[in-house]
Amino acid sequence: MHNTRPHARVHAHTHAQTRTRERRQHLAFEAARLMAEGGIRDYHQAKLKAAQRLGIHDDASLPRNCEIDEALREYQRLFLGSGQARELRRRREAALRALEFFHAFEPRLVGPVLDGTADANAAVALHLHGDDADAVPRWLDQHGVPAQARSRHLRLDRERAADFPVWLFSAEDLSFDATVLPADVLRQAPLSGVDGRPMRRASAAQLRMLLAEDEIAGYEALP
């Protein structure tokens, strides 16, 4: 008699894998929706909240941050459209002025405003570089910019991680988030919490090019 047990086991395993993959996709989309609509910017927080809402608690079904990032882009494309594009453009233009303001600190734009996922809740995230930890708060104070001090844990590479000072302030009715890093970090960006690779970042010159490309793309999209 033909033994169907190995075939049944393979079928059950394939079915279980398919169900896990479907749950991951469902969770990634729900986490993306929470980030887009609820103002959550932390991938881990969005992932756990989505799992709680959907009643999914097995670790195998939890999506990776890069899967949530992909789902967030798709959600914004489908449901936010031109409104999200306007918010992104506004923040990128403000980011350019901020990079010019912080020119002495070799500033770089990072995060959602650079990668294109910024919405009405997103802060403009900057990396400032220098070995004098007090130089940035002095600069802000000299220019009459009230700021709140925080700290952020970042991985510089596979071996090194540390807490770095962060200054939160408002300008042009937008929130700004400036992390102060040692000067030598300018050689290689800290690792991204999304995919573990060096963060994408842009100087003022690179951001000007990006804005010009956006403007050209906008004209080409006109009927």
Is-contact 30 50, C-beta < 8 A? yes
Per-residue confidence (pLDDT) for residue 219, from 0 to 100: 53
Of 122, 180, 116, 119, the residue nearest 147 (C-alpha)? 180
Q: What is the DSSP string of 38-103?
A: H----HHHHHHHHHHHHT---GGGPPPHHHHHHHHHHHIIIIIHHHHHHHHHHHHHHHHHHHHHTG
Query: Mean pLDDT for the chain?
Result: 85
Tell me how far the alpha carbon of residue 219 is from its chain's centroid: 27
For range 186-215, the mean pLDDT: 91
The confidence band for 38, taking pLDDT boundaries of 50, 70 and 90, is confident
In angstroms, what CA-CA distances link 87 with 80, 98, 118, 210?
A: 10, 16, 7, 15
Domain 81-221 has CATH 2.60.40.10: no
Amino acid identity at 11: H
Question: For residue 36, what are the contacts with CB-CB under 8 A and spacing of at least 6?
Answer: 72, 75, 76, 79, 80, 119
Report whether pLDDT(205) > 90: yes
The confidence band for 184, taking pLDDT boundaries of 50, 70 and 90, is very high
Report whether pLDDT(195) > 60: yes
